[in-house]
Amino acid sequence: MPQSPASPTAKPLTGPQRALRKLGLLRPIDLALHLPLRYEDETRLVKLRDVREGETAQVEGRVTHAEVKLGGHRQLLVTLDDGSGTCLLRFFTFYPSQQKALAVGNRIRVRGEIRGGFAGLTMMHPVVKLAGGELATALTPVYPTVAGLPQTYLRRAVQAGLARAELADTVPSQYLQAIGLHPSWDLRQALSFLHNPASDVLLDTLQDHSHPAWQRLKAEELLAQQLSQLQSRRARDQLRAPTLTGAGANSLFERLLAALPFQLTAAQQRVVGEISQDIARSIPMHRLLQGDVGAGKTVVAALAAAQCMDAGWQCALMAPTEILATQHFAKLVGWLQPLGVTVAWLTGSQKAKERRDMLALIASGQAALVVGTHALIQDKVQFQKLALAIIDEQHRFGVAQRLALRGKLGSQLQEPHLLMMTATPIPRTLAMSYYADLDVSTIDALPPGRTPIVTKVVNDARRDEVIARIRDQLVQGRQIYWVCPLIEENEALDLRNATEIHAQLRAALPGVLVGLLHSRMAPLEKKAVMSLFVGGQMGVLVSTTVIEVGVDVPNASLMVIEHAERFGLSQLHQLRGRVGRGAAASACVLLYATGDAPRLGEAARERLKAMVQSNDGFEIARRDLEIRGPGEFMGARQSGDAMLRFADVVTDAPLLDWARRLAPLMLDQHPAQAEQHVQRWLGSRTDYLKA
Residues contributing to the site for ligand ADP (CB under 6 A): 262-265, 268, 291, 293-299, 423, 447, 550, 552, 554, 581
How far, in whole angstroms, is CA 217 from its chain's centroid? Answer: 23
- Contact pattern for Mg ion over residues 549 through 568, marking x by CB under 5 A: -x------------------
Q: Return the number of the residue (287 or 297) whose C-beta is nearest ligand ADP.
A: 297
Nearer to ligand ADP, 388 or 390 (CB): 390
For residue 212, the partner it binds in ligand ADP, Mg ion, none, with Cβ less than 5 to 8 A by kind, is: none
Alpha-carbon distance of 627 to 607, in angstroms, equals: 8
Closest CB 421 distance from Mg ion, rounded Å: 7
Shortest distance, position 544 Cβ to Mg ion, whole Å: 20
- CB-side exposure of 113: number of CA atoms within 13 Å? 5
Q: Choose between 230 and 305: whose C-beta lies nearer to Mg ion.
A: 305
Instruction: With CA atoms as reference, report the closest residue to 401 among 687, 691, 634, 638.
Output: 691
Q: How far is the CB of 392 from Mg ion (least distance, A)?
A: 6
Minimum distance from residue 338 beta carbon to Mg ion (Å): 22
Residue closer to Mg ion, measured from CB, 42 or 444: 444
291's contact among ligand ADP, Mg ion, none, with CB below 5 to 8 A by partner kind, is: ligand ADP
Among 584, 564, 549, residue whose Cα is nearest residue 483: 564
92 binds, among Mg ion, ligand ADP, none (CB under 5 to 8 A by kind): none
Query: Which of Mg ion, ligand ADP, none sits in contact with 364, Cβ below 5 to 8 A by type?
Result: none
**Per-residue b or e along 324-339, where b marks 16 or more CB atoms closer than 10 Å to that residue's CB:** bbbbbbbbbbebbeee
* Residue nearer to ligand ADP on the CB measure, 311 or 553: 553
Pick between residue 85 and residue 554 the one whose CB is nearest to ligand ADP: 554
Does 580 interact with Mg ion (rule: CB under 5 A)?
A: no
Which residues make Cβ contacts (< 8 Å) with residue 196, sequence separation at least 6? 138, 139, 141
Query: Looking at beta carbons, which residue is closest to ligand ADP?
Result: 296
Q: Which amino acid is at 123?
A: M
Rounded least distance, CB 91 to Mg ion, Å? 60
State the nearest-atom distance from the C-beta of 119 to ligand ADP, in Å.
Answer: 60
Q: How far apart are CA 341 and CA 325, in angstroms?
A: 18
Q: 395 or 581, CB closer to ligand ADP? A: 581
Instruction: Decide which of Mg ion, ligand ADP, none touches 58; Cβ closer than 5 to 8 Å per partner kind.
Output: none
| Binding to Mg ion in span 531-550, by CB under 5 A | 550
**Which of ligand ADP, Mg ion, none does residue 664 bind (CB under 5 to 8 Å by kind)?**
none
Determine the Cα–Cα distance for residues 256 and 254; give it in Å rounded to an integer.
5
Q: How far apart are CA 659 and CA 646, in angstroms?
A: 14
Residue (254 or 460) nearer to ligand ADP, CB: 254
- Min dist. Cβ of residue 573 to ligand ADP (A): 11
Using CB under 5 A as the binding rule, whether residue 617 contacts Mg ion is answered as no
Report d(CA 499, CA 594) in Å as an integer.
Answer: 21
Beta bridge partners of 459: 592
CA dist 371 and 341 (Å) reads: 13
Q: Would you say 552 or 606 has its CB closer to Mg ion?
A: 552
Distance, CA of 113 to CA of 615 (rounded, Å) = 47
Residue 204 backbone phi and psi in degrees, to 5: -55, -40
Integer Cα distance of 212 and 190 in angstroms: 8
Total binding residues toward Mg ion, as defined by CB under 5 A: 1
Which residues, at least 6 apart from 390, have a Cβ–Cβ distance to it below 8 Å?
301, 304, 305, 315, 316, 317, 318, 419, 420, 421
- Per-position DSSP letters for 204-252, written without gaps between them: HHHHTT-SHHHHHHHHHHHHHHHHHHHHHHHHHHTSB--------TTSH
At closest approach, how far in Å is the CB of 447 from ligand ADP?
3
* Minimum distance from residue 320 beta carbon to Mg ion (Å): 11
Indicate which of ligand ADP, Mg ion, none lies near residue 296 (CB less than 5 to 8 Å, by partner kind): ligand ADP
Contacts with Mg ion, residue ranges (CB under 5 A):
550
